[in-house]
């Protein structure tokens, strides 16, 4: 195989018995069971193999080798007396006649036990990530990531997409998240920015005459971490199609993703096309979220008109959303615990009552609703043993509380959560504009470069006062899987006249657009094709496929929640000479 090994540590089987072999790997464990007799385990990327040390001289040598040192072992393969059916190499063992230390572990005590590293403190895991990755269970996620990216790349190429890499050093964008800036040494006082996404470049590729583009694109955003988002750097399956509509994008994604999720995922069932399409406003009304987890069969219904006058003060104003949960066997203690969890996440706690097994309203706010029982039963289709959650407040708060309640109670209530599958859906028909919470004026609701539904004519109607600008929909869409947003996408606004008109509604004129987006605006003036695209997050996809709760588990060298690389000690200070070359003065004093 190579000069340092004839086989890997996961390769030997019964057919190798009697052969002289040479393995190389890490000494995982040494277990001494008697005078001159011990078992050792050697591990490499491919697996583990047991060694049997049956003489005092060889044991003496092994006693001097620290755990996790890399070693080379030569010996004879023999059949095990006590076999291990759970281990691929469990039928055999090696009797070593020669061992050589290739790289000594100079520390007698490790920061954590390798095979139990996932139980260690996260800071220790990130600081010693190279040790954490030796754990086969951790390494498996990175192997999965490689396989998924390879499968995505192959599928896109089979659909006629050309892989093109776009620049990493670019210009700061006034839209979106906070940029990472890079000082330009040759241009004092000026800065590059790391791309938040290849958005403008991929649209410019469409203008350049390329028909189908994709790349596994690195993106950089200076934003806070959360479970499904890593600070700093992330990757996405970026794609764009010329002379294409929303339906064309949907067709590609619905053909590419389900086979990959079914093959590589923790669950082997994935939605088949066509995926469900849910208008944005309906998603908020029905699921309390624009990222619904369709594995949960619960939904919210508006009961404001039924219960607002019941005499319970929190219901007297705003809206009330009801979530009926049939055949609910939760105890009062369990309900209270879940309600508290909802309050932490949503900032408000749902109220509740139950239709007990005798058909009587009981518990929670039931005393205020006794004369509403018939109406509620009819409106919600209530049956005995049904728990009803009531979420109240201003519309946005009531919807948010309902969304959190559905995702909290659904998995806790037997029969309402089909966990072992991947359920995709499209969220469509996003509003083009909204009233800004801080400004109180009209602002873009999501992507300002999405094509407004109906194009220029719709904008002109709004300008003439024939329709409300808030009623204008955008040809924008999100793809959601199991309650996780994988990506936003859109049919792009490729017409300069429509673009200018769209920006005028948010008080920006032609000169503003030219100044902020000069390359894209000018390119569109030279004849741009209609185009559309999307960019599902690779890290989020692999997180779902691996069945883990945090995105850091599927990234080889992740940052912590504070955007720090504990292993490399980044960010860090640099020498004054480097700052001088870049014409940068640091005004903050170093912490003592």
Q: Give the DSSP letter string of 346-382.
A: HSS--EEEEE-TTS-EESTTGGGSGGGHHHHHHHHT-
Q: Which residues contact 342 (CB under 8 A, 6 or more apart)?
A: 348, 349, 350, 401, 404, 405, 408
Q: Quick one: average pLDDT of 105-111?
A: 93
Q: Quick one: average pLDDT of 40-54?
A: 97
Q: Is residue 112 part of a domain?
A: no
- Residue 238 confidence (pLDDT) above 90: yes
Q: Is residue 126 part of a domain?
A: no
Q: Number of folded domains in the chain?
A: 4
Residue 507 belongs to what H/E stretch? none
| pLDDT tens digits along 85-101 | 999 999 999 999 999 99
- Residue 225 confidence (pLDDT) above 80: no
pLDDT score at 175: 60
- Identify the band that residue 227 occupies on the pLDDT scale cut at 50, 70 and 90: low
Give percent above pLDDT 90 in the chain. Answer: 91
Domain that includes residue 186, residue range: 137-273+534-578
pLDDT score at 503: 94
CATH number assigned to the domain comprising residue 151: 3.30.930.10
Examine the domain organization and report whether 543 and 522 are in the same domain.
no
pLDDT score at 589: 67
Q: Provide the phi-psi class of 368: left if phi over 0, else alpha when psi is between -120 and 50, else beta.
A: alpha
Examine the domain organization and report whether 395 and 432 are in the same domain.
no
Maximum Cα–Cα distance across the chain: 95
CATH number assigned to the domain comprising residue 91: 2.40.50.140
- Domain stops at, among 399, 417, 435: 417
Q: Is residue 114 part of a domain?
A: no
Examine the domain organization and report whether 167 and 258 are in the same domain.
yes
Q: Which token pair is 233?
A: 């750097």
- Residue 591 confidence (pLDDT) above 60: no
Q: Is residue 5 part of a domain?
A: no
Cα(223)–Cα(230) distance, rounded to whole angstroms?
9
Examine the domain organization and report whether 436 and 506 are in the same domain.
yes
Q: Give the residues across from 531 on adjacent strands.
A: 242
Q: Quick one: average pLDDT of 409-417?
A: 96
Examine the domain organization and report whether 507 and 550 are in the same domain.
no
pLDDT score at 176: 67
Mean pLDDT taken over the chain: 95
- Residue 188 confidence (pLDDT) above 70: yes
Q: Quick one: average pLDDT of 183-204?
A: 95
- Residue 415 confidence (pLDDT) above 60: yes
Give percent above pLDDT 70 in the chain. Answer: 98
- Domain stops at, among 103, 128, 157: 103
Tracing tokens 């990234």 back to the chain, one arrives at: 555
Q: Is residue 442 part of a domain?
A: yes
Q: Give the residues across from 221 on adjacent strands.
A: 232
pLDDT score at 230: 80
| pLDDT tens digits along 21-30 | 999 999 999 9
- Identify the band that residue 446 occupies on the pLDDT scale cut at 50, 70 and 90: confident
- Residue 506 confidence (pLDDT) above 80: yes
| pLDDT tens digits along 508-531 | 999 999 988 899 999 999 999 999
Name the nearest CA neighbour of 21 among 43, 10, 40, 5: 5
Q: Is residue 278 part of a domain?
A: no
pLDDT score at 282: 97
Examine the domain organization and report whether 24 and 88 are in the same domain.
yes
Cα(132)–Cα(140) distance, rounded to whole angstroms?
12
CB atoms within 10 A of CB 458: 22
Q: Which residues contact 136 (CB under 8 A, 6 or more apart)?
A: 43, 115
Name the nearest CA neighbour of 365 among 327, 328, 391, 338: 391
| pLDDT tens digits along 239-282 | 999 999 999 999 999 999 999 999 999 999 999 999 999 999 99
Examine the domain organization and report whether 302 and 411 are in the same domain.
yes
Asked if residue 14 lies in contact with residue 92, where contact means CB atoms within 8 angstroms, the answer is yes
- Residue 75 confidence (pLDDT) above 70: yes
Q: Is residue 319 part of a domain?
A: yes
pLDDT score at 2: 74
Examine the domain organization and report whether 266 and 340 are in the same domain.
no
- Identify the band that residue 108 occupies on the pLDDT scale cut at 50, 70 and 90: confident
Asked if residue 498 lies in contact with residue 456, where contact means CB atoms within 8 angstroms, the answer is yes
Tell me how far CA of residue 436 lies from CA of 205, 433, 470, 546, in angstroms. Answer: 33, 9, 12, 38
Q: Is residue 283 part of a domain?
A: no
Examine the domain organization and report whether 324 and 410 are in the same domain.
yes
pLDDT score at 183: 95
């Amino acid at each position: 195989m190579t000069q340092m090994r004839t086989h890997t540590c996961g390769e030997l089987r019964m057919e190798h018995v009697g052969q002289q072999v040479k393995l190389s790997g890490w000494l995982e464990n040494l277990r001494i069971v008697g005078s001159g007799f011990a078992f050792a385990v050697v591990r490499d990327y491919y697996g583990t193999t047991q060694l049997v040390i049956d003489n005092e001289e060889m044991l003496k040598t092994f006693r001097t080798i620290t755990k996790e040192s890399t070693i080379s072992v030569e010996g004879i393969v023999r059949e095990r007396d006590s076999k291990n059916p759970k281990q691929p190499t469990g039928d055999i063992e090696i009797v070593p006649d020669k061992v050589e230390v290739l790289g000594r572990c100079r520390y007698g005590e490790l920061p954590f036990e390798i095979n139990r590293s996932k139980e260690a403190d996260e800071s220790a895991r990130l600081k010693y990530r190279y040790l954490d990755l030796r754990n086969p269970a951790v390494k498996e996620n990175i192997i999965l990531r490689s396989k998924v990216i390879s499968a995505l790349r192959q599928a896109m190429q089979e659909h006629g997409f050309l892989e093109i890499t776009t620049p990493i050093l670019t210009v700061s964008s006034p839209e979106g998240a906070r940029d990472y800036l890079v000082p330009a040494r040759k241009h004092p006082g000026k800065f590059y920015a790391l791309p938040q996404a290849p958005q403008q470049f991929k649209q410019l590729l469409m203008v350049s005459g390329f028909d189908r583009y994709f790349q596994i694109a690195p993106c950089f955003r200076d934003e806070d971490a959360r479970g499904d988002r890593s600070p700093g750097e992330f990757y996405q399956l970026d794609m764009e199609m010329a002379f294409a509509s929303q339906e064309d994008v949907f067709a590609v994604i619905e053909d590419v993703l389900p086979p990959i999720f079914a093959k590589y995922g923790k669950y082997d069932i994935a939605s088949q096309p066509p995926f469900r399409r849910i208008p944005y406003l309906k998603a908020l009304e029905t699921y309390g979220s624009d990222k619904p987890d369709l594995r949960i069969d619960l939904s919210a219904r508006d009961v404001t008109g039924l219960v607002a006058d019941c005499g319970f003060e929190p219901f007297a104003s705003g809206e009330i959303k009801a979530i009926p949960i049939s055949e609910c066997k939760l105890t009062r203690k369990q309900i209270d615990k879940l309600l508290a969890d909802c309050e932490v996440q949503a900032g408000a706690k749902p109220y509740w009552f139950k239709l007990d097994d005798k058909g009587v309203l009981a518990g929670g706010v039931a005393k205020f609703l006794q004369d509403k029982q018939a109406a509620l039963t009819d409106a919600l289709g209530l049956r005995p043993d049904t728990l009803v959650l009531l979420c109240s407040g201003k519309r946005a708060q009531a919807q948010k509380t309902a969304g959190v309640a559905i995702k909290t109670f659904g998995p806790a209530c037997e029969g309402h959560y089909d966990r072992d599958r991947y359920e995709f859906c499209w969220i469509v028909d996003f509003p083009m504009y909204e009233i800004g919470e801080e400004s109180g004026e009209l602002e873009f609701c999501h992507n300002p470069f999405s094509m407004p539904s109906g194009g220029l004519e719709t904008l002109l109607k709004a300008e003439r006062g024939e329709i409300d600008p808030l009623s204008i929909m955008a040809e924008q869409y999100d793809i959601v899987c199991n309650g996780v947003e994988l990506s936003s996408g859109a049919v792009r606004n490729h017409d300069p006249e429509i673009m200018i008109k769209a920006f005028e509604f948010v008080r920006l004129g032609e000169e503003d657009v030219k100044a902020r987006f000069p390359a894209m605006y000018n390119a569109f003036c030279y004849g741009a094709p209609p185009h559309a695209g999307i960019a599902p997050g690779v890290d989020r996809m692999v997180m779902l496929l691996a069945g883990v709760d945090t995105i850091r588990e599927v990234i080889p060298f992740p940052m912590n929640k504070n955007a720090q690389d504990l292993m490399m000690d980044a960010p860090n200070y640099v020498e004054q000479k480097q700052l001088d070359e870049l014409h940068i003065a640091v005004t903050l004093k170093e912490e003592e």
